[in-house]
Every structure is written in structure tokens, then in C-alpha cells.
Amino acid sequence: MLRSFLLLVSPLLMSFCDGVCFMCPEICRCSQKSITCNSATESLKSRTHSRLVLNYISLKIISTHSFDGLKGVKRIEIAQSTSVETIEKEAFNNLLNVSEISIQNTRSLVHIHKWAFNHLPKLRYLSISNTGIGVFPDLTSIFSLESDFILYICDNLNLHSVPTNAFIGMTSEFTTMNLFNNGFQEIESHAFNGTKIDKLVLKNNKDLRVIHEDAFKGAFGPTMLDVSSTALETLPSRGLESVLMLVARSAFALKRLPPLNGLKSLREAQLTYPSHCCALLSWDSNREESVITALRNGSSNCADNSPANPSDVASDDSLASDIDGYTSAEDKFGSMDFYYPELDLCHRPALQCSPEADAFNPCEDIAGFSFLRVAIWFINVLAIVGNLTVLLVLFTSRCKLTVPKFLMCHLAFADLCIGVYLLMIATVDLMTRGHYSQHAIEWQTGAGCGIAGFLSVFGGELSVYTLSTITVERWHTITHALRLERRLGLRHASSIMVVGWVVCLGMALLPLMGVSSYNKVSMCLPMDIETPLSQAYIILLLLFNVGAFLVICGCYVRIYTAVRNPEFPGRTADAKIAKRMAVLIFTDFLCMAPISFFAISAAFKVPLITVTNSKILLVLFYPINSCTNPFLYAIFTRAFRKDAYILLSSMGCCESKANLYRMKTYCSENVTRSKSSSGSNGNSKAPRAVVWMSSFPHVTPRSQMQRV
């Protein structure tokens, strides 16, 4: 009974229940296999329906001529269907009054055949969203005559590219294209051929990497382009001449702007990186100047053609009103300029760009001042040559490797890192001179800056660590001058340096692993203090440096008092030693100062100094140790000069000098050994004390040396 009732009722209601019910619209005829809504089924009903809603369709195929020749219908909506897989060709055919078609939430829909949308002259709104299509739907036979066509193709995650001529024949009027949240990876050449684009929104296509250089070839516009949250690395250099507004928020891969002259109509930009705004604004103001000089020359008379004919403006209102987020005044300027580029010269409001440059990225070259550009070359060459010399001589030395020499190698290597860091900075500065802001992001987020930053922190910290170790070793040796067995051996020194390397490597690697970062400033130093962890890291660097400085000072004070002790053999050289120490401590302090400045200002987020001025400190003072260390600790010392002469003589010069040294020659360690094996009585006190001194020769009292 019930069943027969249902059998009777269901064909009447034409409903096929599949979880949720599908209601066949009155003006259609529905069966298990098809839905047909055409002029014949429409005319059966006296009442006209302007809206055709088809939810929960249980068919697999929307077949040819399903919607054909409808007269009264203005809107067709297909939504919430899990079974529709295919829309056949001419499914939407010849709908002369239809202005909106929307196909949404049909995840199984994978095929939209060619000419599926055929001859829809009144169409102004087409949405194909949240479907499973893998091929861009064919829109080329719509032939809409409406202005302000609005296209939505969104949330189609299987849609991977916009093919050539995708929109040709869609409409001959201006179009707003909302193509967001799709799976686009590429927009092919001539994709927009034959269209007039008003607004093109490509945001949130997270995999979109390439817009082909010629994608906009054959197209008008766009006037507004949004590529936010895409993976684009650059924009095409052609076809963006009419873009008034460019939005590229969170487009982190967009590190390079296209040639700025290709954006000549740009009025407003919302970008990801402040330095791009630097580039745009300086380019804009340069352009402004050239326009003004042109005007001064009387080549153009602005008063005549401005403010432009009210009628002209009005006729463009339809276009302008589609540019969202514009005030009407901007609209008019915008659309006017689009049509009358010659008005550019007179009434171009200044370019708006955000985000503006922040304190970390002032709009300037890497070397903010030109004297720094000279200084940085001088300093890096000095540091590299000095330290390479030291390394070369130490490695070729025939004398046995002593602890001081061993430490000296590490010091020279650390300082060499700083030299290389400066060389990298200087080279990039030279290459980007005058237009750094265009390359800033590429450099700062690239591998180069990471390597440079790593070298600077690693070199800086290893240098400080090694200096402290050298000083401690000296002090230790002096206090235990008379007890050879307690002197620092090479094994100990090695393990101390291994610890140093591990610590310094760790400190230099942290910014690469996300604790602070090197890409905040053009000098590639860790100045990022956004998180508490980064702040802690900076404070740690500060403490490390201050600690090392205090250790060095402390050791020198102890050495000095030890040497001043009347019992001590080298007393006559007091003044000299004191002077040497003063120089060492002073250079250390100079080197320390900038680091501390930053660390303190960074740690407490107080801008003690601007980034521009900080560069003076960084370039002139930070590398001071790296330049002076090879001289203070090696080149100016006797032992080193001896090694150097011997090396030179082996290459065939300075023979006589070398022989002089050879005669006196004792690699200090050999002397030590012979002495220690020969004499163990108290009388040999003085010579032995001198012996240790000769291993760090710059504290060697010369008179004593002679006596030996």
C-alpha cells in the first residue's frame, strides 16, 4: 500500500532521494537519466521562473542540451551534488536571458566538455567553484555581450594551469577574473589573449610558480593584479603596463620585482617586503622629477586637459566601480589614466606603497656611506692578506708545532673568516651599488647572506675564544714558568679548541636554524629579535664576548703584576710589555664595542643606534681584531719573522737574512727541551723563564734574549 503510494507520488514530485532530496524544478523534465530544461518544457508552465536551482542532483552526466533555449530564466545554480561527473558539450546552450550561472560544491565533477557553455550573450556572472575539474573549463564559446563580466573559478584544487587562449571569446568587454584558491602551478603564454582584464585575482594559488612572460600578450589590462600568497618568484616583465594596483601580500617567494618601467601606471602597491617599496618609491620620485623638468620646459600644458571632461569620466565609471577598495576620486584618476596615459604627466598622485621601510631596512645601499665602500675593501684585503700570510708561514714552518703556534693558526683562520665575510659584503655592495633595494630580498634571503652571516659570527666568536685561550695560556705559562710539567700541552690545547669550535659552530648555526636570523639586515648579522629566543641568543652572544673580554683583561693584569714582581727576570722590559698589552686590550675593546652596542640595544629593544650608523661601527671597528691580530700576534714577532725568512729563502730570496736567523735558530720548543733535560738545578731559573717568553715573542725582553 505504502509502496504503491510512493510509486504514484514520486513521478509527480520528480524527486529522487539520495540522502538529501533533489527537487526537479517546475519548468524542467527530470528522469533517472537526465534533466531537461528547454523552451518547450518552460512554455508548459504559465508562470515564468527567473531562477533555476538544482541541488543534490543524483545524475552522473549533465547531458547535451540540458539547458537549451530557456527564455525567462536568468539564473542557473547547480550545487551540492556529489554525483555529477561530467557536463557535456552545449549543456548550457543558447540561453538568451541567462545572466548568472553558478556551479558549486560538486567535488566529483571532473569533465566540462568543450562548448559546454555555448552562446550566452547576457551572461555576466559565471562561477565554477569547488569542483574536481583537472582541465581548465572551456569558456571560449560564451560570447557574452555584457560589460563587467565577473568570472569566479575558485577552490578547484586539481586545476593546474591556465592554458593559452583560455578566455578568448568569453566576452569582448572588461572582465573581473577571480581565480583564487586553485591548484594552479602555471599560467601559460597568451593565457589572457584577446581579453580586457579589469581585475585579476590570483591570490592563494599556493603552488603558482610561473606566470609566463607572455601571459598577458594580446590582452588589455589588468588594472588590478593580486598575487598574494602565491609561490611566484617574479612577475612577467611585459604586460603589466596598465596595472594601477598591485597586491602581493605574503608572496614570500616574490623576491625580485619585474623591471620597474614595466609597471609604469602603478599607483598603489601592497607588497610583502619593505625594500621593494624602497625601490618603487625611489623610482617613482625619479620619474616625478623628470616629468617636472619636462613640464618646466613648457612641453606640456596641463591646465588644458584637466580636470578631464566630466562626460569622459562618467563613461568610465562602470569600469572604475569594479576596482574594489578604491575611493571614487582614485577611481576616476585610475580609469582616466588607463585611457589617457598622457594625463600621467600632470595629475599623477604619488605612488602609495606598503609596507614602508623599517628601522632594519633603511632605503640605502649596503655600505650606507661612500667612504665605507672604500674602507670595507681596504679592511677586507688587509684581513685576508694578513691572515693568509700567517697561515702560510705557520703551515710551512719547519719548527715543531708549539701550543702558541697552534692557537695562532686558529686565530688566523677565525680572522680569515671575518675577512671573507667582509669581502662578500663588499662584493655584493659593489654589484648592487645604487639599486640595492631591488636586490635586497634576493640577497638577504638567499644562501649568500646565510653564508656571510655564518662566517661573521663563527669567525668573530672563534677569534674571541682563541684570543682568550691564547691569553689564558700565556698567563698559565708565566705562573707555571718554573714547572714545566704543568704547562699546557698540545693535547690540552687541542681539546680546548675543539670545545671552542663546537661552541662557535653552534652559535653561528643557530640563526640558520631559526633562532634569530641573518636575513634581517643587509649586513647579514643576527639582528632579528622578534622572539624571546632570539633575544636570549643575542644576550648570549653579548655575554660570551663580554666574558671573553674580561678574561683577557684579567689575564693581562695578572701577567703584568707577575712581570713587575722584582723576583721576575724580565723586569727591565716592563714599560714595553705594558705598552703591548695596552694595545692588545685596546684593539679588543674597539672590537667589542660595536658588538656590545648592538647586543644591548637589541636585547632591550632600545634603538641606541640606527642601522645606518651602525654600519660605520660594523665596518670600521668590528673587523679591527681580524686586521690587527695577524700583526700583533704573529707578523711583528721575532719567531714569525724567522719562519717567514726561512720560507722566503726556500723560495730563493732573502738568503742572508734567513741564514742569520738559522744561526741563532732554535725553534723555541727544542730549546726548551734541551734546557729542561740538561739543567734541573735552581740556577737555570733565568734562562728558562726567558725560554717561555720566546714562545710568545712579543713579550720577550730583548736584552734577556741576547743574554741567552
Ligand X SMILES: *[C@@H]1O[C@H](CO)[C@@H](O)[C@H](O)[C@H]1NC(C)=O
Interface residues with ligand X (CB under 6 A) are 71-72, 96-97, 164-165, 168, 190, 193-194, 218, 293, 297
Closer of 168 and 539 to ligand X (Cβ): 168
Closer of 82 and 165 to ligand X (Cβ): 165
Q: Pick from 55, 144, 138: which is nearest to 96 by CA? A: 144
Q: What is the CA radius of gyration of the chain?
A: 39
All three cell numbers of 403: 701550543
Supply the minimum distance, in Å, between the C-beta of residue 293 and ligand X: 6
Q: Is cis: bond before 137, omega within 30 of 0?
A: no
Contact 168, 217 (CB under 8 A): no
Closer of 295 and 705 to ligand X (Cβ): 295
Supply the minimum distance, in Å, between the C-beta of residue 48 and ligand X: 7
Q: Between the CA of residue 148 and those of 127, 226, 314, 321, what are the distances in Å? A: 14, 18, 15, 10
Supply the minimum distance, in Å, between the C-beta of residue 145 and ligand X: 13
Beta-bridge mates of residue 29 = 36
Closer of 211 and 379 to ligand X (Cβ): 211
Supply the minimum distance, in Å, between the C-beta of residue 281 and ligand X: 24
Supply the minimum distance, in Å, between the C-beta of residue 214 and ligand X: 8
Supply the minimum distance, in Å, between the C-beta of residue 112 and ligand X: 21
Q: Which residues, including other chains, have CB under 8 Å from residue 428's CB and lie 6 or more apart?
A: 366, 443, 448
Supply the minimum distance, in Å, between the C-beta of residue 608 and ligand X: 46
Closer of 48 and 352 to ligand X (Cβ): 48
Supply the minimum distance, in Å, between the C-beta of residue 71 and ligand X: 3
Closer of 21 and 96 to ligand X (Cβ): 96
Closer of 194 and 262 to ligand X (Cβ): 194
Closer of 75 and 480 to ligand X (Cβ): 75
Closer of 218 and 450 to ligand X (Cβ): 218
Closer of 84 and 177 to ligand X (Cβ): 177
Q: Pick from 480, 449, 612, 497: which is nearest to 558 by CA? A: 480
Closer of 136 and 152 to ligand X (Cβ): 136
Q: Phi first, then psi: what are they for 78, rounded to 5°? A: -120, 125
Q: Is cis: bond before 355, omega within 30 of 0?
A: yes
All three cell numbers of 417: 673568516
Closer of 301 and 650 to ligand X (Cβ): 301
Amino acid identity for residue 233 in this structure: E
Q: Pick from 379, 464, 376: which is nearest to 428 by CA? A: 376
Contact 432, 439 (CB under 8 A): yes
Supply the minimum distance, in Å, between the C-beta of residue 421 and ligand X: 46
Contact 215, 190 (CB under 8 A): yes
Three-state helix/strand/coil letters over 36-55 = EEEHHHHHCCCCCCCEEEEE
Closer of 166 and 266 to ligand X (Cβ): 166
C-alpha 227/C-alpha 208 separation (Å) is: 9
Which ranges of 178-321 would DSSP assign to H, the alpha helix? 274-296, 302-305, 310-315, 317-320
Q: Which residues, including other chains, have CB under 8 Å from residue 392's CB and lie 6 or more apart?
A: 647
Supply the minimum distance, in Å, between the C-beta of residue 25 and ligand X: 17
- Angle of helix 447-479 versus helix 436-444 axis, rounded to 10: 70
Number of other CB atoms surrounding residue 482 within 10 Å = 13
Closer of 190 and 255 to ligand X (Cβ): 190
Supply the minimum distance, in Å, between the C-beta of residue 244 and ligand X: 24
Please, what is the Cα angle at 374 between 372 and 376, to 5 degrees? 65
Please, what is the Cα angle at 198 between 193 and 200, to 5 degrees? 75
Closer of 191 and 591 to ligand X (Cβ): 191
Supply the minimum distance, in Å, between the C-beta of residue 68 and ligand X: 13
Closer of 193 and 427 to ligand X (Cβ): 193
Supply the minimum distance, in Å, between the C-beta of residue 620 and ligand X: 42
Contacts 24+ apart (CB under 8 A), 440-447: 440/273, 440/275, 440/278, 440/361, 440/522, 441/255, 441/256, 441/273, 441/275, 441/276, 442/255, 442/256, 443/522, 444/518, 444/519, 444/520, 444/521, 444/522, 444/524, 445/255, 445/519
Closer of 169 and 446 to ligand X (Cβ): 169
Supply the minimum distance, in Å, between the C-beta of residue 218 and ligand X: 4
Q: What is the dihedral of CA 412, 415, 420, 425, to 10 degrees?
A: -170
Closer of 69 and 307 to ligand X (Cβ): 69
Q: Pick from 3, 24, 2: which is nearest to 13 by CA? A: 24
Supply the minimum distance, in Å, between the C-beta of residue 63 and ligand X: 23
**Diameter over CA atoms, the chain:** 131
Q: Which residues, including other chains, have CB under 8 Å from residue 237's CB and lie 6 or more apart?
A: 213, 258, 259, 262
Q: Between the CA of residue 545 and those of 457, 460, 469, 558, what are the distances in Å? A: 11, 9, 13, 20
Supply the minimum distance, in Å, between the C-beta of residue 265 and ligand X: 23
Q: Which residues, including other chains, have CB under 8 Å from residue 312's CB and lie 6 or more apart?
A: 336, 339, 340
Supply the minimum distance, in Å, between the C-beta of residue 196 and ligand X: 12
> To which H or E segment does residue 195 belong?
none
Supply the minimum distance, in Å, between the C-beta of residue 140 and ligand X: 11
3-class DSSP assignment, residue 110: coil
C-alpha 247/C-alpha 468 separation (Å) is: 52
